[in-house]
Homo-oligomer: A and B are copies of this chain.
């Protein structure tokens, strides 16, 4: 146990994005002194933030974490509930597939920038949190308890008396790179062929151009388009496409042909001119998955959260939610070990690594599902079976999506429960097929074999006997 009382401790949180800002609030709430470092300047002072988008879809895990620092309601007010996916077919017909079984089970569309600004403002309210913008992490010396940063003017800035360094600095985490020098980290990063590009569906006549409370999906097997509603009645629209198709579309005609073939209604919503301008002025962005184990070094007093520890495909909308849940898990451990960092960091890592890996894998599978399966009948049947079973045995049978989005069941457990459900359904299917097969055979026997047999007996067998008798 640490002999120093925890409120006299100081931590450096690296990264002032969603995860870092929230994590700072967690430490702030417990009276720990926090230096929060962000590479870029304060987004609250900027006109436009380029890049970083894909609207966020906030669900249970993220909300519980926000609730821990008393800002769930504030955030929810700034979001738009989405109760269902809205599937756009090739022939422009649409049909919804609900996320849950009640209105209560929804996910919340929220603008990344607004969320980040709100969280930074929350962090600013704590007297024990100091935010340093334009600070680039350079090095960490756990023996001297000293971290070095470079500020916006390229000046070296040293921060001393730090009891721990918390890396919330995203997929290309500099803190993780430093951690890898202290610990033997198993690490992998994988790019998928799909890249993404954003478009905007502006309001029409001052109203949302499409059904508001939905996450719109145009699933087209190898690729897809999605759209999430914003408070200003626009939709943030994202095209996911293999890079070789992006590269093949070189002219305006090719681009419009492509949209005409695969997303005809989206041309109407986005506007031909906007599609062209946007496409030829932006660059497709890559998607990366990251796995890493462990998530900490006890001896070097380091821990990583969020994308730094587990970047994932955005298709389960769990990137942010899992990052926020990291804060909850870390603080469960900090509370359990009375803020002994070494023990809590180890505990967090032991709790979290397998679940991080599971959600990274699940996010990849959901990518396949969203772009492909959602348009298949088998998928719809499974959804209906899932929901039926959920209604009948709600404590025993929760659909995978609901477990991920509407509960805090650990991700690995969700994956395992889903695999068990698959097994049960498979057995069920085999039994049904067998019974149906037997029934069919019985019907076949009665309707086909029986008359044939009778006919055979009457025509071929009986005459022999009759003939004999006659003779």
Instruction: Give per-residue flags for A158-194: 1 if the beta carbon is below 8 A from chain B beta carbons, else 0.
Output: 0000000000000000000000000011111111000
Neighbouring B residues of A288 by C-beta, 8 Å: 184
Whether a CB of chain B sits under 8 angstroms from the CB of A152 is no
Q: Would B189 and A187 count as touching, CB distance under 8 A?
A: yes
Nearest B residue to A288 via CB reads B184
Nearest B residue to A286 via CB reads B184
- Bound complex: CA of A190 vs CA of B187, how far in Å? 7
Neighbouring B residues of A190 by C-beta, 8 Å: 186
Nearest B residue to A177 via CB reads B177
Chain B min CB distance to A35 (Å): 27
Neighbouring B residues of A185 by C-beta, 8 Å: 189
How often does this chain occur in the complex, in copies? Answer: 2
Chain B min CB distance to A74 (Å): 37
Q: Would B191 and A188 count as touching, CB distance under 8 A?
A: no
- Bound complex: CA of A301 vs CA of B384, how far in Å? 54
Nearest B residue to A181 via CB reads B172
Neighbouring B residues of A184 by C-beta, 8 Å: 191, 286, 288
Chain B min CB distance to A312 (Å): 15
Nearest B residue to A184 via CB reads B191
- Bound complex: CA of A189 vs CA of B191, how far in Å? 15
Instruction: Give per-residue flags for A258-298: 1 if the beta carbon is below 8 A from chain B beta carbons, else 0.
Output: 00000000000000000000000000001010000000000
- Bound complex: CA of A43 vs CA of B245, how far in Å? 52
Nearest B residue to A287 via CB reads B184
Task: List residues of A (212-261) whose CB comes within 8 Å of B's CBs.
Answer: none
Nearest B residue to A188 via CB reads B188
- Bound complex: CA of A185 vs CA of B188, how far in Å? 10
- Bound complex: CA of A185 vs CA of B286, how far in Å? 11
Neighbouring B residues of A286 by C-beta, 8 Å: 184
Nearest B residue to A186 via CB reads B190
Chain B min CB distance to A254 (Å): 24
- Bound complex: CA of A288 vs CA of B286, how far in Å? 28
Nearest B residue to A243 via CB reads B184
Chain B min CB distance to A138 (Å): 13
- Bound complex: CA of A187 vs CA of B186, how far in Å? 11
Q: Would B189 and A186 count as touching, CB distance under 8 A?
A: yes
Nearest B residue to A291 via CB reads B188
Nearest B residue to A191 via CB reads B184
Task: List residues of A (200-221) whose CB comes within 8 Å of B's CBs.
Answer: none
- Bound complex: CA of A332 vs CA of B85, how far in Å? 54
- Bound complex: CA of A191 vs CA of B186, how far in Å? 6
- Bound complex: CA of A191 vs CA of B185, how far in Å? 7
Chain B min CB distance to A290 (Å): 10
- Bound complex: CA of A248 vs CA of B21, how far in Å? 42
- Bound complex: CA of A286 vs CA of B185, how far in Å? 11
Chain B min CB distance to A257 (Å): 28
- A residues touching B (Cβ–Cβ < 8 Å)? 184-191, 286, 288
Apart from the given pairs A184-B288, A186-B191, A187-B188, 4 other A-B contacts in the complex at a CB distance below 8 Å: A184-B191, A187-B187, A187-B189, A188-B188
4 closest pairs, A vs B, by CB?
A188-B188, A184-B191, A186-B190, A187-B189
Q: List 13 A-B contacts (CB under 8 A).
A: A184-B191, A184-B286, A184-B288, A185-B189, A186-B188, A186-B189, A186-B190, A186-B191, A187-B187, A187-B188, A187-B189, A188-B188, A188-B189
